[in-house]
Structure 1
Amino acid sequence: MTTIRDVSKLAGVSVATVSRLLNQSGYVSKEAEIAIMAAVQKLNYKPNNIARSLAGKKTAAVALMVPDILNPFFPEIARAAEDAAAAEGYTLVLCNTDNSPVKEKQYIETLINKQIDGIIISSYTIQPEQIIALQDRSIPVVAIDKPFPNYPIVTITAANRHGGELAVSHLQAAGCSKIAHISGPTHVHASRERTIAYEEICKELPWFTPTLIGYGNFTVAGGYQAMKDIYKKHPDVDGVFAGNDLMAAGALKALIELGVKVPEQVKVIGFDGVRMDMVYPEITTISQQIYSFGETAMNYLIRLINNEPVERKNYEFDVELLHKGTT
Structure 2
Amino acid sequence: MTTIRDVSKLAGVSVATVSRLFNQSGYVSKEAEAAIQAAVAKLNYKPNSIARSLAGKKTAAVALMVPDILNPFFPEIARAAEDAAASQGYTLVLCNTDNNPDKEKMYIEALINKQIDGIIVSSYTISPEQIITLQKRSIPIVVIDNSFPDHPIVTITAANRYGGQLAVQHLLYAGCGKIAHICGPSHVHSARERTLAYEEMCSHLPWFTPSLTASGHFSVAGGYEAMKHIFRQHPDVDGVFAGNDLMAAGALKALHELGVSIPSQIKLIGFDGIRMDMVYPELSTVSQQIYTIGRTAMDYLIRQINNEPIEKRNYELEVELLQKATT
TM-score (norm 2): 0.84
Give the secondary structure class of the aligned counterpart of 1:98: coil
Residue number in structure 2 paired with 1:250:
250
2:243 is the alignment partner of 1:235 = no
Residue number in structure 1 paired with 2:116:
116
Pick from 20, 38, 41 the counterpart of residue 33 of structure 1: 41
CA contact (8 A) 1:85 1:91 kept: yes
Residue number in structure 1 paired with 2:76:
76
Residue segments in structure 1 that go unaligned for 5+ positions in a row: 1-21, 24-29, 38-48
Give the secondary structure class of the aligned counterpart of 1:95: strand
Q: Which has the larger radius of gyration?
A: 2
Give the secondary structure class of the aligned counterpart of 2:70: coil
Residue number in structure 2 paired with 1:200:
200
Give the secondary structure class of the aligned counterpart of 2:110: helix
2:291 is the alignment partner of 1:291 = yes
CA contact (8 A) 1:152 1:312 kept: no
Residue number in structure 1 paired with 2:61:
61
Whole-Å Cα distance in 2 between the matches of residues 272 and 168 of structure 1?
Answer: 15
Residue segments in structure 2 that go unaligned for 5+ positions in a row: 1-21, 24-37
2:169 is the alignment partner of 1:169 = yes
CA deviations 1:38-96 (Å, max 9, x no partner) are: xxxxxxxxxxx9xx979732111100000111111111100100010011111100001
Whole-Å Cα distance in 2 between the matches of residues 184 and 112 of structure 1?
Answer: 32
Residue number in structure 2 paired with 1:103:
103
2:140 is the alignment partner of 1:140 = yes
CA deviations 1:147-192 (Å, max 9, x no partner) are: 1122111000111000000000000111111100000001111101
Aligned positions, number: 287
CA deviations 1:233-266 (Å, max 9, x no partner) are: 1111110000000000000000011110101110
What letter is aligned with 1:222?
G
* Stretches of 4+ aligned residues off by more than 4 angstroms: 34-37, 52-55
Instruction: Give the CA deviation at 1:311.
Output: 3.7
Residue number in structure 2 paired with 1:42:
none
Identity fraction in percent: 75
Residue number in structure 1 paired with 2:35:
none
- The Cα RMSD (Å) is 2.0
CA contact (8 A) 1:153 1:312 kept: no
What letter is aligned with 1:93?
V
TM-score (norm 1): 0.84
CA 1:35–1:236: 2 relative to 1, 3 Å: farther
Residue number in structure 2 paired with 1:151:
151
Instruction: Give the CA deviation at 1:36.
Output: 8.4
Whole-Å Cα distance in 2 between the matches of residues 208 and 33 of structure 1?
Answer: 69
